[in-house]
Chains A and B, each alone.
Chain A
Amino acid sequence: MILFFLSSGLFLGWALGANHAGNVFGTAVGTKMIRFKTAAIICSIFVIAGAVISGAGATHTLQRLGSVNAIAGSFIVALSTGLAIFLMTRWKMPVSTSQGIVGAIIGWNLFAGALTDFHSLRKIVITWIIVPVMAACISFVLFLITKAILNRSKIHLLQMDMMTRIGLLVVGAFGSYSLGANNIANVMGVFARVTPFSDLTIFNAITLTGVQQLFALGGIAIAVGVFTYSHKVMETVGSSLLKMSPVAALIVVLAHSIVLFLFSSETLEHFLASNGLPTIPLVPLSSSQVIIGALIGIGLLKKGNLIKLNVLGNIGLGWIATPILAGLIAFISLFIFQNVFDQQVYHKVTFDLNAEVIRQLENEGVSDPAISTLQHKSFENPATFESELKTFTKLSPEDRKKVIDYSLRELFKIDQHTLTTKINRQWFSAGQVEALERLIDNTYNHRWQLVADLKNMSPEWHYRDKTKLNKRFNKDLEQKYQIIFEIFRMSNTTELK
Chain B
Amino acid sequence: MAILLKSTKELEMQIDEFLDAVGQGGLVFTLGVKYYLCKNSENFKEQLKNIGSLEAKADSLRRTIENKLYTHTLIPEHRGDVLGLLESTDNIIDQMKETLNQFDIETPKVPEVLHKNFIDLTEMSVLASDALVMAIRAFFKDINAVKDHLHKVFFYEKEADRIGDNLKRQAFQLDLRLSEKNHLRYFALHIQQVSDNAESVADRLAIYTIKRTI
A residues whose Cβ falls under 8 Å from a Cβ of B: 31-33, 143, 146-147, 150-151, 154-159, 161-162, 165-166, 245-248
Contacts and interface: CB of A to CB of B under 8 A. Distances in A.
B173 interface: no
Contacts of B74: 158, 161
Interface string B73-89: 11111100010000000
A154 B77 contact: no
B214 A150 contact: yes
Interface of B: 1, 4-5, 8, 11-12, 15, 73-78, 82, 139-144, 212, 214
Given A32-B73, A33-B73, 14 more contacts: A33-B76, A146-B214, A150-B214, A151-B143, A154-B141, A154-B142, A156-B141, A157-B82, A157-B212, A158-B12, A162-B4, A162-B5, A162-B8, A247-B214
A318 B142 CA distance: 45
A156 B12 contact: yes
Contacts of B77: 31, 245-246
B139 A158 contact: no
A30 to B, nearest CB: 10
User: What 6 A-B pairs have minimum CB-CB distances, sorted nearest first?
Assistant: A32-B76, A154-B142, A247-B214, A161-B75, A157-B140, A245-B214
A155 B212 CA distance: 13
Contacts of A151: 143-144
A157 B75 contact: yes
Contacts of B141: 154-157
A147 B74 CA distance: 22
B78 A157 contact: yes
B139 to A, nearest CB: 7
Contacts of A143: 214
Main secondary structure of the interface of A (DSSP, over half): helix
Contacts of A158: 8, 11-12, 15, 74-75, 140
B8 A161 contact: yes
B140 to A, nearest CB: 5
Nearest to A165: B4
Contacts of A32: 73, 76
A33 B73 CA distance: 7
Contacts of B142: 154
A146 B213 CA distance: 11
A333 B214 CA distance: 50
Contacts of A162: 4-5, 8
28 contacts: A31-B77, A32-B73, A33-B73, A146-B214, A150-B214, A151-B143, A154-B142, A155-B141, A156-B12, A157-B78, A157-B82, A157-B141, A158-B12, A158-B15, A158-B75, A159-B8, A159-B12, A161-B8, A161-B74, A161-B75, A162-B4, A162-B8, A165-B4, A245-B77, A245-B214, A246-B76, A246-B77, A247-B214
Contacts of B212: 157
Contacts of B144: 151
Contact of B139 (A31, A146, A157, A247): A157
A157 B213 CA distance: 11
Contacts of A156: 12, 140-141
A166 B214 CA distance: 18
Contacts of B11: 158
Nearest to A31: B76
A150 B212 CA distance: 11
Contacts of A161: 8, 74-75
Contacts of A150: 214
A33 to B, nearest CB: 6
Given A157-B139, A158-B75, A248 B12 contact: no
Contacts of A245: 77, 214
A161 B140 CA distance: 11
Contacts of A146: 214
A161 B212 CA distance: 12
Contacts of B140: 156-158
B27 to A, nearest CB: 25
B197 to A, nearest CB: 23
Given A158-B140, A162-B4, A162-B5, A248 B214 contact: yes
A113 B1 CA distance: 57
A270 to B, nearest CB: 35
Contacts of A147: 214
Nearest to B140: A157
A157 B82 CA distance: 10
A471 to B, nearest CB: 40
Nearest to A238: B76
B70 to A, nearest CB: 11
B2 to A, nearest CB: 11
Contacts of A154: 141-142
A32 B142 CA distance: 25
Nearest to B11: A158
Contacts of A33: 73, 76
In this complex, the member of B5, B73, B144 whose beta carbon has the largest number of chain A beta carbons within 10 angstroms is: B73
A288 to B, nearest CB: 23
A146 B212 CA distance: 14
In this complex, the member of B73, B139, B214 whose beta carbon has the largest number of chain A beta carbons within 10 angstroms is: B214
A116 to B, nearest CB: 46
Nearest to A169: B1
A151 B76 CA distance: 21
In this complex, the member of A143, A150, A157 whose beta carbon has the largest number of chain B beta carbons within 10 angstroms is: A157
A157 B142 CA distance: 9
Contacts of B4: 162, 165
A150 B77 CA distance: 17
B75 to A, nearest CB: 5
Contacts of B12: 156, 158-159
